[in-house]
Structure 1
Amino acid sequence: MTSAETKPTVIVGGGFVGLFCALHLRHRRYAEPIILIDPKDRFIFRPLLFDFLSGELSDEQVWPRYEELLQGSEVEFVQDSVSQIDLKGRSLTTATGRQLNYGHLVLGLGATQGYFGTLGAAEHAFAFRDRDDVLKLGKHLLQRLQQASQSRDRQQRQDLLTIAVVGAGPSGIEMVALLADWLPLQYERLGGDRQEIRLVLVNRSPEILKGDANASLHDLVLEELQQRQIPIELLLGVAVEGVTAEGLVYRSTVEAEPQLLTGTVIWTAGVSNNPLLAELEIPASDRNRHGVPYVSPTLQLLGYPEVFAAGDCAVVKEQPQPGLAQVAYQQGAAIAHNLLALSHNHALSPAKVSLRGTLMGLGIDNAVANLLNRYRVTGKPGAILRKATYLELLPTPLHNFKATVDWLSEELFHRHSGGQTRSLEQREIGISRAIAITIVGLVAILGGFFATRLLNEPRSPQPQPSPTQLAPPAS
């Protein structure tokens, strides 16, 4: 057995929490070996999945390979799933049978797609959480458009072109707004009539964004949804009871048909815990009502101070945070800081999360940036700010700089070029647009750069009580 001094720090999950924790540790010369485990070979940047679906961003920009991101870091990446965690024995077992003993463990497991037990949803609805989901949905939608363009049967075209999006949170709204701009363009290229496309946003609550961090954007979003290429129908206050190959079966509080006929249902409502969380040897009193483990303000698992957890697989009892990428990003950095403090026998610091506002796409070249919940940037400038900010959040400076430059190059020299025969007026418009894109883009890039520098800046630990005196309190 490996001695306690050389036992690695094992990070389970390569999302925002896990990957950024590993990168911060290596950047600050953490002495212990680091092993990062994830079943996928690529980092998935979920906020930009919509941009990949529409073709605005490429594979390499949205989901870079871990091998590329960790190159030269000495972090050992293991592409595998963890099947069992023994908290008392400080060990874990992977799906391929590998057993690892750890000195410290970081859980960044994330969540899985949830369906609230809805009959047939997992089998017949399209999820939208990873690369395979996006590729599958994109292929399906293009096939439906192709079939509709070749059909002379009006009813068949209606069935093919009716699309339901379940869930009116940010993901559902971004999805339906994007489809309302993107699908008409694709269908018209095939010779179809855009007016035949029907998009329906379905939600259990009678209000969109209810209880969400973006709730204050309710009125703005409702207005934007009706200004898309295709007006979006709202089916609110209904409980979806089943999904079939033919459509949705639902229960409504108002008089309405109990079924929506559609061959395309996209599910963005809710998430489920990673199955590993239920198997952790912790009492029910140390979990919330959804079964998610509580952690201390320092992000340590209650009763197991050598284990850190954050993101969707943990909740700080005293100060729960929304499930946002910016929260997980900051928590990953906070865990890295505390692991470094432990390695130097210094006291740990509570994780401080600063919500800097929200970003939401509202169609092609359209978004709202709600900065610090005080300032709103909408339309094309909002879309530029959203994309540039997200690209700058991508792991490692080299990758995020390359991704941002590639995107700006596409914006400036391809998407808005009209050939050599453009009129003087068109050229002037193009130049003005290029200048605006460059200015706003550079501001966002510089802001992201300095924010990243700030997070990566080593903090000088101050003499404080030994970490052994700071074990998480009992619940």
Structure 2
Amino acid sequence: MNTLSNPPRVVVVGAGFGGMQTAQSLAQSGAEVLLIDRNNYNTFIPLLYQVAAAQIEPESIAYPLRTVLRRAPRTQFLMATVQNIDFEHQVVETADQLISYDYLVLATGSQTQFLGVPGAMEHAFPLRTLDQAVTLRQHILQRFEQAAREPDPVQRQQLLTFVIVGGGPTGVEMAGTLVELKRAVRRDYPGLNWQDMQIILVQSGDNLLANLPDRLGRYTTRKLRQLGVKVHFQTRVSRVTEQAVEFQNGSVLPVGTVVWAAGLEAAMPAATANLSTARKGKLAVRPTLQLIDHDNVYAIGDLAHAEQNGKSLTGVAPEALQQGVAVARNIRRQLRGKMPTTFSYLNKGRLAIIGGYAGVGKIGPILLTGFLPWLMWLSVHLVYLPGFRNRLAVLLNWLHGYSRGDRAIRVILSAPMTTNPSSDGAQGDRPLLLAKSTGHF
């Protein structure tokens, strides 16, 4: 093993919104900064669902980390997976290196939470990584092709039945964009009866978009139903199989695709089992974002349980970005022998996109519905998307898609077959097993 030790050193584990912002904000701190991630790119997660629905190219929401750090000479990038962290001796271990640190920032984000539902991990499609988005896109396009050559009308309807589990932003966005995809491809499949295509959104609670006011959730429900999405509340999935979804009320729904958007859990880095945790297994942090157990270790984003005014922060991208700036500021203060300061999140508002040129939003006390928040959502995400080339590519795809009602990215690439949608490969063109519907759904 190579041993690296060049103090003062700040090691940042995870190159999501928070981790990348921390590394950039420390560029002029005088410390050596090392950013570690298993991928050599940053993924713009808010647009993953558009990759899955063949609206934009996957490359347009990925940005090379070395390019991001090019103008920060004291900041380096290491493509590796952290295998262990020795907090006592302040060492991060990868497959072939021991890396000492003076300050450590944990920003490993979140991963899909399957809630212990049997078969969900094996047969439902998560949407948290670029590989998963491409896998889902491949699968959806294959379902259209399979349906086009399927003579049995019952099995054809099953192929075109999409169930989305979870009524948060990802579930709502996915339901809306599938409606738009259906409209875009129908002229390419003149032999299909598009009445067979069902888009079903199931939510365990009694409203959509729980982090927004109820009025906006009700508007979202009405809009989705107007678009043709079947929305079911107080509905819990008990099992997912290759060909059906089973619900706790005993009903069974034959399906061709299940998208899992029911929740997230912290993606804990190695050797954090003995650290203090809070709700949902997240790492407990002080108001300064330092770990309870270590003064020189910070946690941010989905990994950290941070509170403000007695309420838990949700870990959305704007929070992670502001936390990255705050942590960098606190580390600079510690390097100068000063005490870290309390993190305070400035909530600039929240937007969600539905589809059909409609969205919802809350900015201060103002609630927005319809076209304006839809346009604001697109504009904000275009501004925050890293890289001019990426912004231009996404903008052109949007202009083409929304003006012509078309989806240009519909190529099915050859890929090894996998039976697990949660893995990184794309599913092969496997036959659909016919399931029998039971109960009322």
Please indicate, yes or no, whether the TM-score normalized by the shorter chain is above 0.5. yes
TM-score for the superposition, normalised by structure 1: 0.78
* Counterpart residue number, 2:11: 10
Distance 1:328 1:388, change over 3 A: same
Indicate which of 280, 283, 293 corresponds to 2:283. Answer: 293
Indicate which of 290, 294, 299 corresponds to 1:309. Answer: 299
Q: What's the CA shift for 1:20?
A: 0.6
Whole-Å separation in 1 of the counterparts to 2:292 and 2:25:
24
Q: What's the CA shift for 1:52?
A: 2.6
SS at match of 1:269: coil
Stretch deviating more after TM superposition (158-167 or 62-71): 62-71
Could you say which structure has the higher helix fraction?
A: 1
Distance 1:345 1:101, change over 3 A: same
- Point out which structure has higher relative CO (alpha carbons under 8 A, 6+ apart): 2
* Counterpart residue number, 1:241: 238
**CA contact 1:7–1:101 (8 Å) conserved in 2:** no
Distance 1:366 1:207, change over 3 A: closer
Distance 1:412 1:164, change over 3 A: closer
Indicate which of 248, 269, 272 corresponds to 2:262. Answer: 269
* Counterpart residue number, 2:322: 330
Whole-Å separation in 1 of the counterparts to 2:326 and 2:266:
22
Whole-Å separation in 2 of the counterparts to 1:277 and 1:320:
24
Whole-Å separation in 2 of the counterparts to 1:234 and 1:56:
23
Q: What's the CA shift for 1:60?
A: 3.8
* Counterpart residue number, 1:442: none
* Counterpart residue number, 2:431: none
Q: What's the CA shift for 1:33?
A: 0.7
Whole-Å separation in 2 of the counterparts to 1:375 and 1:289:
29
Stretch deviating more after TM superposition (337-346 or 9-18): 337-346
Deviations 1:239-294 (A, max 9, x none): 21111011111113xxxx52111121110011223243773432xxx321432221
* Counterpart residue number, 1:84: 84
Q: Which amino acid aligns with 1:387?
A: L
Distance 1:341 1:315, change over 3 A: same
Whole-Å separation in 2 of the counterparts to 1:243 and 1:274:
23
Q: Which amino acid aligns with 2:335?
A: S
Whole-Å separation in 2 of the counterparts to 1:157 and 1:163:
12
- Where in structure 2 are there 5+ consecutive unaligned residues? 406-441
SS at match of 1:171: helix
SS at match of 1:19: helix
Whole-Å separation in 2 of the counterparts to 1:56 and 1:161:
19
Deviations 1:280-330 (A, max 9, x none): 432xxx321432221111110113110011111111255520121111111
- Where in structure 1 are there 5+ consecutive unaligned residues? 419-475
TM-score for the superposition, normalised by structure 2: 0.84
Structure number with bigger Rg: 1
Compute the RMSD of aligned alpha carbons: 2.3
* Counterpart residue number, 2:132: 133
Q: How many residues align?
A: 399
Matches within 5 A, 1:38-49: 38-49=37-48
* Counterpart residue number, 1:281: 274
Task: Work out the percentage of aligned pairs sharing the same amino acid.
Answer: 28
* Counterpart residue number, 2:51: 52
**CA contact 2:358–2:369 (8 Å) conserved in 1:** no
Q: What's the CA shift for 1:53?
A: 3.0
**CA contact 1:294–1:302 (8 Å) conserved in 2:** yes
Q: What's the CA shift for 1:183?
A: 2.3
Deviations 1:35-64 (A, max 9, x none): 111111221111111233344433343111
Q: Which amino acid aligns with 1:194?
A: W
